[in-house]
Structure 1
Amino acid sequence: MRLDKFVGQCTDYSRSQIHQAVKAGRISVNGLIAKKADLQLDGTESVLLGDQLIALQPLRYLMLHKPLGYICANRDAAHPVVIDLLALPKKQELQIVGRLDIDTTGLVLLTDDGQWNHRITSPRHECPKTYLVTTANPITADTAALFAAGVQLHGEKAPTRPAQLEQISSHLARLCIHEGKYHQVKRMFAAVGNHVVALHREAIGNIQLDAQLAEGEYRPLTHDEIQSIN
């Protein structure tokens, strides 16, 4: 890795600030003043910025309880974004894993580990997502069987993959899907003549939304939660 990239990942310095620090002789590698910002590192070096030892930060894995009205994006001109809820350095570098609509609440994962993100979001891995669904009309007795067989969504060539519906009450159910088509849960219920009025994601894979997290709160994932995604 280049020295300037390494320092950029370890600090809040901009690229121009790093180059200025190199020119000023403020960055040393293994006790020697670095002369070039493009110096190649192999990861074993001791790098000082001034008299401060710097090192790559560990990868971050977070769960967030998303409130209504927030966009799952890093920036948006019209609406607040979930990144705004984080009080973390370099939060704009976090990837949002498994986005939710503006009117959907619940579990959102964030990380700067691209491979871990891919294992969740790639259709090939079929990572399950579990939702609590409130409907406008009573859920009919055949809905679970229809979802288990797969329903045809408007504009899609193939039916949905088998999904598991657990009916809780006349207008409330828990639904587990194994793919992530656009507005999938809402479109599935629309395909059987119903309408979703509230949607809340409870789990992604084996990671359950922490019941202690109020809307807008977040916490790091535990080691076991991170390792549960494989």
Structure 2
Amino acid sequence: MRRLDQLLANLGYCSRSEARAWIRDGRVTISGKVTKDFGAKAHAAHVRIDGEPLDHPDGVLILVNKPTGLVCSHDEREGANVYSLLPTRWRARNPQITSIGRLDKDTSGLILLTDQSELVHKLTSPKHKVPKLYRATLRDDVLPDLIPLFASGTLLLKDEPSPCAPAELKIISPREAELTLTEGRYHQVRRMFASQGNEVLTLHRPQFGHLDLGDLPAGQWRELALDTFK
């Protein structure tokens, strides 16, 4: 149970002072009864605003097909971000909706957004080894020798204290490849190829764990059940 004014503010409806005004105006009910007590505690499932249930009171989990040009940071100094694709109310939630891992500005594809901190930790922790599939186009031909090298678990990137975890490389065409990782180091795919003298020109992630984008267009999103990864 939470204070009524805090509940409405945390779900992004308005500020706490605005929530108190809504409550005083009789717009909010608890179990069907109008209350004027903004300090009253209630279960979110029992609260209505103008007769409507609260928006995702238990949290959100969203699958986004991120286009290039957007960052996964909330820092506006870094440019347009992936959160701009979401409804305004969701962007004001507390806890804040954040990305599970990141895709850099020049990488497109599947990114998960949520306000569930435990889920963020679970899916980004290396010990859970969640597979992530990337499709890359390269400047030069992909050498077959990279397949056993990437799979060996011995590739040490510059300024890294430990080698990369084993990764599965599939060569799709001379300059196209798929790489499956179970960790998420900074610019890892680009750095792995760069360490062998090749440059990633485009990078796209179509799969995260057991999820894939399907036919979801770039810049669009769909909701997932909160227990998707249980």
The one-letter amino acid of 2:63's match is M
CA offset at residue 131 of structure 1?
Answer: 0.1
CA distance in 1: counterparts of 2:139 and 2:45, whole angstroms: 61
Task: Name the CA shift for 1:163/1:45 in 2 (closer, same or farther; >3 Å).
Answer: closer
Amino acid at match of 1:15: R
Paired residues of 2:26 and 2:35 also in contact (CA < 8 A):
yes
Q: 1:162 aligns with which of 156, 166, 173?
A: 166
Q: TM-score, normalised by structure 1?
A: 0.84
Alignment partner of 1:195 is 2:196: no
User: In 2, Cα distance between the equivalents of 1:156 and 1:45?
Assistant: 48
Q: Check conservation: 2:110, 2:208, Cα contact below 8 A.
A: yes
What is the CA distance between 1:5 and its match in structure 2?
Answer: 1.8
Distance apart, 1:102 and its partner CA: 0.7
Task: State the match for 2:16 in structure 1.
Answer: 15
Q: Which of the residues 180, 186, 189 maps onto 1:185?
A: 189
Could you say which residue in structure 1 is the equivalent of 2:35?
A: 33
Instruction: Report percent identity of matched pairs.
Output: 34
SS for the counterpart of 2:65 is strand
Q: Which amino acid aligns with 1:207?
A: L
Q: Runs of 5+ in structure 1 lacking a partner?
A: none
Pairing 1:90-169 to 2, within 5 Å after superposition: 90-93=90-93, 94-150=97-153, 151-169=155-173
Whole-angstrom CA distance in 2 between matches of 1:228 and 1:12: 26
Cα shift readout 1:185-226 (whole Å, capped 9, x = no counterpart): 11111122221111111111010112x2222122223x5xx6
Structure 1 counterpart of 2:61, one-letter code: Y
Aligned to 1:81: 81
State the SS of the aligned residue for 1:198. Answer: strand
Contact 1:168 1:174 in 2 (8 A): yes
1:206 alignment partner, one of 202, 210, 214: 210
Q: Distance in 1 between matches of 2:34 and 2:138?
A: 66
CA RMSD in angstroms, aligned pairs only: 2.6
- Paired residue total: 223
